[in-house]
Amino acid sequence: MSTLLLSHPACLEHLVPHGHPERPDRLRAVERALEAEKFQTLAREQAPMAPLEIVALCHPMDYIVALRDASPAEGLIQIDGDTSMSPGTFEAALRAAGGGIRAVDEVLGKRAANAFVATRPPGHHAETAKPMGFCLFDNAGIAARYAQNRHGIARAAIVDFDVHHGNGSQEIFWADKTVMYCSTHQMPLFPGTGAVIESGEYNTVVNAPLRPGDGADKFRDAFENRILPRLAEFQPELIIISAGFDAHYRDPLANLNLVEEDFAWATQKIMDVADRCAGGRIVSMLEGGYNLSALGRSTVAHVQALTGQ
């Protein structure tokens, strides 16, 4: 079984204001990086649009419908301080969620070893009924709930190494003891949540904040001493990675000092836990990463680890 790569050209049609960091070129950089010879063994599929009732596993239907109805016929509309919609945004958002759903089907159906979903807009800042921080739907959260609802997975975990805290994933699963949410992130930084004491109603939220300037040592410490032990203890049957690459030292939105090897290392560590308790089942979903060359190289390191190279 090989690693499955899911993407869709419609995700390039989510247009943003000039100079906005979460831009279509990010996805082009990721796709270009994955054209390399060593990725010829990847299985590739187009991300389908998520059915609205599946998106509704994490978001109220009236929120979803309001976003659909807000879609502009032309130009851009602002739906949050730094989140906007263009005519192609709603479809892109459904495909970003749908990529995760398809990945769950393929990985849990044992047709793929694991999967990487290269789509945009990202998802981990979207709260139950609130778009935020470039995100409309919590793609990783929807994948987790879908795995539980349609495949009978009892416990799923989301591991989020994006440099920003995934306030949306935390909020959605705050009082859900069947989904663990673990995050390394810079603090202080947008969105301001993610302190260690934020641990959820059932102690299934695991936050490991890092300080501006921290690099590989502190990042690896946070994984080895806080996240991985809790993850292993939780015994998830599926691990979803919120794979943001904006903790890279070249990223313009934050001040951590990781390099691509650190993402490969974290990926391998997560795979080790997945091998022990989840039959190796991992679905990884692209979140942030705003320096195009760092994003491309970090994606290569991450996907290479997923393929076992």
The answer to whether 164 contacts Zn ion (rule: CB under 5 A) is: yes
- Identify whether 51 is preceded by a cis peptide bond (ω within 30 of 0): no
Q: How distant is the alpha carbon of residue 290 from its chain centre?
A: 14
**How far apart, in whole angstroms, are the C-alpha atoms of residue 83 and residue 163?**
18
- Closer by beta carbon to Zn ion, 246 or else 262: 246
The answer to whether 251 contacts Zn ion (rule: CB under 5 A) is: no
List the Cα angle 168/171/174 in 5-degree steps.
140
The answer to whether 102 contacts Zn ion (rule: CB under 5 A) is: no
The answer to whether 288 contacts Zn ion (rule: CB under 5 A) is: yes
Which range of residues in 18-26, 99-107, 242-250, 273-281 is near Zn ion by CB under 5 A?
A: 242-250
| Closest CB 247 distance from Zn ion, rounded Å | 8
The answer to whether 23 contacts Zn ion (rule: CB under 5 A) is: no
| Closest CB 165 distance from Zn ion, rounded Å | 9
Q: Which of 98, 194, 244, 296 contacts Zn ion by CB under 5 A?
A: 244
Which range of residues in 51-59, 136-144, 200-208, 241-249 is near Zn ion by CB under 5 A?
A: 241-249
Indicate if 151 belongs to the active site: no
Q: Which of 91, 160, 162, 262 contacts Zn ion by CB under 5 A?
A: 162
Write out the two tokens for 239.
């691990």
- Closer by beta carbon to Zn ion, 214 or else 246: 246
| Closest CB 166 distance from Zn ion, rounded Å | 9
**How far apart, in whole angstroms, are the C-alpha atoms of residue 117 and residue 4?**
8
**How far apart, in whole angstroms, are the C-alpha atoms of residue 161 and residue 159?**
7
Over 276-304, what HEC string results?
A: HHCCCCEEEEECCCCCHHHHHHHHHHHHH
Q: Which of 283, 178, 184, 196 is nearest to 235 (CA)?
A: 178
Residues with a catalytic annotation lie at: 125
Could you list the residues that contact Zn ion (CB under 5 A)? 162, 164, 244, 246, 288
